Amino acid sequence: MSSPSSKLPNLTTKTEEFISAVEKEADTPLYELTPEEAREFLIHLQEKTARVIDAEVFDRNIFTENAGNIEIRVVRPKNSKDKTLPVILYIHGGGWIMGGPRTHDLLVRQLANCTESVVIFPDYALSPEAKYPVALEQIYGVLTYIYENPSEFNIDENRIVIAGDSAGGNMATVTAMKAKKQNGPKILFQALFYPVTNADMDTTSYEDFADGPWLTRKAMEWFWDAYAPDKKDRDCSYVSPLKASEEELKDMPPTLIITDENDVLRDEGEAYARKLDFCGVDVLSVRLNGTHHDFMMLNALSETTPAKGAMMMACDVIKRVLYK
């Protein structure tokens, strides 16, 4: 790990090695790539360090009344086909521009097996082709569909957890807000991994880690411009959930928020945890030191101590909720 001083970033040795390798390979900043190039970059990065965990995986196309046809991936624990299991609706990150079943394969297989749950993974429409609120409407459509059609997936519709990383954490918690407001499916718990919660980009962590490691301020500006180009939308609680009112946040599901030390999004994730707590929500907020944004998703970091510790904690908390 970097020497214990005020120097930033403070990364474990294995994480430093990962960043150095990426910097050598990627000679163009992410935000200067086209969306298609950025997607291929992340897929390539993940697949060259892929690790497969046994699970039952199949893809489906479902039709939702309000959002039309949506592709979903269903991931069940191995040897669970005949069991009715609880469900985790998992919303992937990638700055709304990148990500999908190929980039998050290891993470969702880990969740399915370690929590003994079925993971439903919406392959929502990406930005900039689809802008706010298209992806949100698709995700809410998937939530409603699985709640109304549990027998299609052999799931218990009364045991639903929602989870997501980064931009997916943003849309996961907004989906929980929407379900509460509309008296929709009851969500027992939300697990948010280094979530985006505020479009203002004015925190200390944005200053400290503007140039990374891994995620930069300019990349976040690119993501926001793709997802919510109309800046008036960014003050909406369904885009910046940190700006939600007390009325909107009270009675939200109990929450786990995992942040990381060296991340532009660190402070807003922790601020959201404090605001939920202020509104009476049970919150567990944990920061993992020595690592950076996306550490739970990146295959190359999956065997690092922060990633393993965060995954064990998330799985333990979720399983206790679903099997109490």
- 78-134, pLDDT tens digit by residue? 999 999 999 999 999 999 999 999 999 999 999 999 999 999 999 999 999 999 999
Q: What six digits make up the tokens of 44?
A: 């390539």
Name the catalytic one among 263, 267, 285, 292.
263
DSSP string, 164-183: EETHHHHHHHHHHHHHHHTT
**Whether 95 contacts 103, CB under 8 Å:** no
**pLDDT confidence bin for 17, thresholds 50/70/90:** very high
**pLDDT confidence bin for 8, thresholds 50/70/90:** confident
Read off the pTM.
0.97
Name the catalytic one among 127, 166, 240, 285.
166
Residues 40-68, mean pLDDT to the nearest whole number = 96
Q: What six digits make up the tokens of 293?
A: 């944004």
Domains of the chain: 13-322 (3.40.50.1820)
pLDDT score at 27: 87
Close Cβ partners of 64 (under 8 Å, ≥ 6 residues apart): 70, 138, 141, 142, 144, 145
- 250-284, pLDDT tens digit by residue? 999 999 999 999 999 999 999 999 999 999 999 99
| pLDDT at residue 26 greater than cutoff 60 | yes
Name the catalytic one among 117, 267, 293, 302.
293
Concerning whether 293 is annotated as a catalytic residue, the answer is: yes
Residues 56-79, mean pLDDT to the nearest whole number = 97
Residues 293-318, mean pLDDT to the nearest whole number = 99
Distances 297 to 6, 179, 183, 204, 304 between C-alpha atoms, Å: 27, 26, 32, 24, 12
| pLDDT at residue 4 greater than cutoff 80 | no
pLDDT score at 6: 53
Distances 308 to 45, 118, 210, 314 between C-alpha atoms, Å: 19, 21, 26, 10
Distances 196 to 54, 68, 138, 268 between C-alpha atoms, Å: 31, 26, 19, 7
| pLDDT at residue 145 greater than cutoff 70 | yes
pLDDT score at 5: 46
Neighbours of 164 (CB within 10 A): 27
- 146-165, pLDDT tens digit by residue? 999 999 999 999 999 999 99
* Least reliable range by pLDDT among 7-21, 91-105, 213-227: 7-21
Q: What six digits make up the tokens of 259?
A: 């942040």
| pLDDT at residue 3 greater than cutoff 50 | no
